[in-house]
Amino acid sequence: MTVFNLGSINIDLFYQVPHFPAAGETLTTLGHARMLGGKGANQSIALARAGMDVLHLGASSAEDSWLRKELEAAGVNIAHIQDSDRASGHAIVSVDPEGENQILLAPGANRDIDMDNACAALDLAQDGDWALLQNETNGADRFVAEARAKGLKLAYSAAPFDADVVLGLLPHTDLLVVNEGEAAALGAAIGKPVETAGLPHLVITLGGAGATYHGIDGDIKQPAFAVEVVDTTGAGDCYLGYLLAGMAAGRPTERCMAEAAAAAAIHVTRPGTGAAIPTRAEVDAFLEKTG
């Protein structure tokens, strides 16, 4: 079983700050680091570390070969990542002492994906496979149309949130994952609470309050695990990867939610994004320890 992920690949530039700057304020950072990131790349790594086969469809500058090497080292199939003449996407991430973040995003090569080549990879799809996308790349409409035509289920991480884009993809979505703010914005766009929209599987992440599920398996509340937070950047991507891996494998929804919550809990105790995502063994050990 494979997940075909049309997803972003970014260079994440992290800056530890004593507080977020006000307008016109100059801050000296407490530390900095360069890491692989991007919602798409993070989700591919989470899927791979959860034990799922994942084929990443995306683009980055040929000069940044280290991005692909890190994805490959994490177990992601990189055969269909394209070289772009544009600079690789990048994000500037400020993280305060409480682990909260502010992010500036430059799409770069993520908006330069050749969709003929990307969609050709879907010829490899088999029964039971999933397609996954976010809102950080070009080509979403075509990718979804071709994936659905081949019988793939669709998981959609609707961020960064764009109401028009989300409304266009919603009828084709099997699993929608949004945070609390995105759920409220989507509810306003459709004129009713998103929980009542009739989606097969809807998960609303609530940060430190956990997450809720609404869909064909009823309504489920999964509390967050209490941990010492270092950095929340990418925690939602880690959550989605483990959630989708469990659902694609046919695990009970309650178990999928618990595994995703455990993975995110481990993730936020570490700095960074992709590098902070735990392995399946770490998640299993965490759940066994916490009961």
pLDDT in tens, 4-26: 999 999 999 999 999 999 999 99
Contacts with 264 (C-beta within 8 Å, 6 or more apart), sequence order? 224, 235, 236, 238, 239, 242
CATH classification of 2-9+38-87+109-290, choosing from 1.10.10.60, 3.20.20.105, 3.40.50.300, 3.40.1190.20? 3.40.1190.20
Q: What's the mean per-residue pLDDT of the chain?
A: 96
Domain boundaries in the chain? Answer: 2-9+38-87+109-290
Instruction: Flag whether pLDDT at 288 surpasses 90.
Output: yes
pLDDT in tens, 215-257: 999 999 999 999 999 999 899 999 999 999 999 999 999 999 9
d(CA 41, CA 161): 18
DSSP per-residue letters across 35-68 = EEE-HHHHHHHHHHHTT-EEEEEEEEETT-HHHH
Alpha-carbon distance values, 20 to 17, 23, 92, 97 (Å): 7, 10, 13, 10
Instruction: Flag whether pLDDT at 52 surpasses 80.
Output: yes
| pLDDT at residue number 272 | 87
Q: pTM above 0.85? A: yes
pLDDT in tens, 176-213: 999 999 999 999 999 999 999 999 999 999 999 999 99
d(CA 277, CA 41): 11
pLDDT in tens, 133-183: 999 999 999 999 999 999 999 999 999 999 999 999 999 999 999 999 999
Instruction: Flag whether pLDDT at 291 surpasses 80.
Output: no
| pLDDT at residue number 244 | 99
